[in-house]
Amino acid sequence: MTSRGGVWAVNGVNMPPSSLLRPELWLSRAMSRRVLEPDCPGKRWLCPRCGRQVAGLGNPGLPGTRHSVGMAVLGQLARRLGVADSWTRDRRCVADLALAPLGDAQLVLLRPRLLMNVNGRSVAQAAKLFGLTAEEVYLIHDELDKPLGKLALKLGGSARGHNGVRSCISCLNSSLVRQLLYLVPGP
C-alpha cells in the first residue's frame, strides 16, 4: 500500500476484478490500523470498537454500470464473508442488509434501494439504527479521477463531485466517512 494526501492506494493495475479485490483481507487490514479506530460513544448494539457499516453506493436495478460498482464490490465482499444469501430487506432504512462477522468486528453490509443521488438517506438511517457514527461508515463507490484499476481508501474529506457521497455526507452531517474508491473508466 502507498499513501499520498490521505489516500491509501492498493496496487492492482490490469488485474481482473475478482483477483483485484480481496475485500475481506483488505478491509480487515484497514480496520486494524490505529487510525481507523474511532472512540466508542458508549452503549452500542454491536460490540464496542468493533461495529462498522460498509455501504455499496449505486443505482438499484442497474447492474453493470459504473455508478453501480459499489454494489458489485459489496456483493463480492458478502460472498467472500459467506453472507451472500443472508440479505434481508429493511424498510426502516430502505435498503438490503446483511450482518457479517470479520475477526473481532461485526459488519453491517448495506445495499441502498434508493437512487445514487439519495443513497445517503439509507446510509444515515442504518447508521442510526445500529448506533454507528460517521467515522464507522465505509462507502464503496466509483471514482473517475484516478488511474484505472486502483483501489483507494480516503479518510474523510469532500465528495469531490460524487453526488452519492455528497448525499451521505449531508445525511450523516459529517465528512468523516471513509471512502473506498474503486477506480473505473470515464463515461
| Nearby residues of 145 by Cβ (< 8 Å), 6 or more positions away | 160
* Residue of 67, 141, 150, 154 marked catalytic: 67
| 67 is annotated as an active-site residue | yes
46 close to 177: Cβ distance less than 8 angstroms: no
**Quick one: CA torsion of 124, 130, 84, 65, rounded to 10 degrees?**
10
Q: 30's torsion region: left (phi>0), alpha (psi -120 to 50) or beta? A: alpha
CA angle 94, 60, 24 (to 5 degrees): 85
Catalytic residues: 67
